[in-house]
A and B are shown apart, each in its own frame.
Chain A
Amino acid sequence: MSNYTNHKKYEDYEFEDFLSDEFFVQWVKSHSENNLHFWEKWLISNPQKREMVTEAASFVRSIQYKENFEFTDEAYIEVFENILKVDLETPSISSTHSKKEVWYSFFSVRRVAAILLIGFSCWALFETQNFSESEKAPIEWITKVNEAGKKTVIHLNDGTVIHLNSNSKISYPKTFTDSIRVISMEGEAFFDVEKETRPFIVEVNDAKVEVLGTSFNVNSVVEGKLEVALVSGKVKVNDKLGNQVMLDPMEMIVLEDNGKIYKQDFDVRSVTGWKDKYLVFTDDDFDTVVRKIKNWYGVEISTSGKFNTQWAYTGQYFDESLENVLEGIAQTSKIKYKIKGKEVQITH
């Protein structure tokens, strides 16, 4: 890791220790494989520090220049061209050998400039383009549907990887347009979006989640409620009323149909564990437990007996059989179960 003057361990860190730690700031500001791996693991094993870490991270992110000086596109091109012009005016050494090289660089330089210019006009083009306009283009769409009990991993041609949970549906164009990447979904999916300049937009429940390169989970399984949890990168969520919210890593936003919007922390394992075969129950009520098992194993569940509202279950199962999961729940929660093929009976 990095070299500190104070040799405290992270678990003994106080608020200001985090703020003056290079490795911490690096993680908050820009994730890389190195720091992400460490901090995700560290947060899981130090949940008592989560609140402090969140506060410190939000301070780090909040610091910015008071005045912003924009380097205009005109200036960008002008300076670039002026820099290259100097090269052409002063062909340095005049041996026959290097003459050839000058010509070479002449051509490559011009090519660079041309690509850059066209790249720029393109940028201007899709900046002004409206999302809805580009969707109207006749594009061939692919739709994937997962029934209960089935999970799939989809690799898009831009390099983006989507984990689609059971009972979920996703539609995406066969090839993305040059200006934008739009997909639509229902249910739950985890996205690991390939970073590039074309924005990536997920349409779900009339809301839009806009990203550049990032990994996050979208969950619209519960009726009237949409949850977007960001693991790394940056995400912008637009609801149907036009509210726009930026998410920072380790933040989850909940949009309710009644217009309520709020942010909250989340536990990475319980929100995104499903894609790595973790079936996670976190203080779930009986209905939620039943729904999760039905979706996970693709079984029908009938229940009898009374479950009071106090009933709640917490537990994690990695790649377990239906029977082991039910047995695990039964041991701590006084339920009885019977499995007959694709049907499960639970009594209390």
Chain B
Amino acid sequence: MNNSPKEQSNCTFIPVKHLETIKVFEKKSDCDIWNAFNKGDEMAFNYLYRTYVHKLFQFGSQYSRDSSLVKDSIQNLFIYLRKKRGSLGEVTNIKGYLFKSIQREIIRNIKSNTSFEGFEENFLESHFQLEVSPEVSFIKNESEDERKIQVQQALNQLTTKQRKAILLFYEEELSYKEIAEIMNFSEVKTARKLIYRALASLKKYIKPTSY
């Protein structure tokens, strides 16, 4: 990035303008933002890119450590969406839609890059690893730390699908409906069950003893 003093002095007022455009969209529904994008509103594209690109990279990197592959996939996805402006369908949850799309794009790219058969099953084993954040234990005592280790062990025993669903549900704040769509379940209740089973197997570790 260019950090010349000239550019620095410019920043006294311009970012404020930029902020305002972001704010305008922050208050709008996903539907409205998507419609604006579909109609060719560049600020809406700007907003989408800025809001979701980091998330897409983090999610996409769960499938491939090849960062240039993930980067290219994101680029292709946005190029595709921009080309389709004017004829894009309605989207009520942008994040869910983009996650589903980037997943498709990345898997397609991985498949075309490698001759690896049946990658989806094997490949996923090591991915979507999750952990319990260390921040949470701030006030808790040592036995709490011990429980955390147990929870981590329990988390490690979850299936890849369960881990993925849990990350999408808690970390990405997606609904059961969106999770079902991303994971290609025909029914929402399959996603619900998946999470519920994962929680059941974690239950004895995460459930506080006092209840």
Interface residues of A (CB under 8 A from B): 2, 5, 14-16, 19-20, 22, 25-26, 29-30, 51-52, 55, 58-71, 73-80, 82-83, 86-87, 105, 108-109, 112, 115-125, 178, 196-197, 245-246, 262-263
Q: A115 near B17 (CB under 8 angstroms)?
A: yes
Instruction: Check A16–B207 contact: CB distance below 8 A.
Output: yes
Residues of B within 8 A of A (CB): 1-3, 7-8, 10-19, 23, 40, 42-43, 45-46, 49-50, 53-54, 57-58, 61-62, 67, 70-71, 74-75, 78-79, 82-83, 128-133, 135-136, 138-139, 166-167, 169-171, 173, 175-176, 189, 192, 195-196, 199-200, 203, 206-208, 210-211
A-side interface mostly: helix
Query: Which chain A residues border B18 with CB–CB below 8 Å?
Result: 115-116, 119
In the assembled complex, the CB of B57 is this many whole angstroms from the nearest CB of chain A, namely: 4
List residues of chain A with CB within 8 A of the CB of B23.
196
Q: Which residue from A26, A58, A79, A123 sits with its C-beta under 8 Å from B71? A: A79
A62 touches B192 (CB 8 A): no
Closest CB of chain A to B99's CB: distance in Å?
Answer: 14
CB pair B200 A16 closer than 8 Å: yes
Which residues from B are CB-within-8-Å of A246? 135, 138
The CA-CA distance from A29 to B138 in the complex, in Å, is 19
| 4 A-B pairs with least C-beta separation | A69-B61, A122-B11, A66-B129, A71-B57
In the complex formed, the residue of B with least CB distance to A111 is B42
> A122 and B15 in contact (CB under 8 A), knowing A15-B211, A79-B75, A80-B49?
yes
Question: Within the assembled complex, what's the spacing in Å between the Cα atoms of A304 and B79?
Answer: 80
Q: Which residues of B contact A122 (CB under 8 A)?
A: 8, 11, 14-15
Q: For the complex, what is the distance from the CA of A118 to the CA of B75, rounded to whole Å?
A: 21
Q: Could you say which of B14, B42, B67, B175 contacts A105, with CB atoms under 8 Å apart?
A: B42
> Which residues of the other chain, B, contact A196 by a CB distance below 8 angstroms?
19, 23
Contact pick for A87, options B46, B82, B136, CB 8 Å: B82
Q: Which residues of B sit under 8 angstroms from A115, Cβ to Cβ?
A: 14, 17-18
**CA of A311 to CA of B178 in the docked complex: distance in angstroms?**
56
How many Å from the CB of A272 to the closest CB on chain B?
A: 22
Q: Give every chain B residue within 8 A of A87 (Cβ-Cβ).
A: 82
* Distance (whole angstroms) from the CB of A259 to the closest CB of chain B: 15
Separation of A6 and B105 alpha carbons in the complex (Å): 36
Q: How far is the CA of A201 from the CA of B40 in the complex (A)?
A: 38
Nearest residue (CB) in A for B54 is A71
Assess the A61–B54 pair: CB atoms within 8 A. Answer: no
Are A121 and B169 touching (Cβ within 8 A)? Answer: no
Task: Find chain A residues with CB under 8 A from B67 CB.
Answer: 69, 75
Chain A residues with CB under 8 Å of B13's CB are 178
A79 to B74, CA, bound (A): 8
Interface pair B79/A83, CB less than 8 Å apart? yes
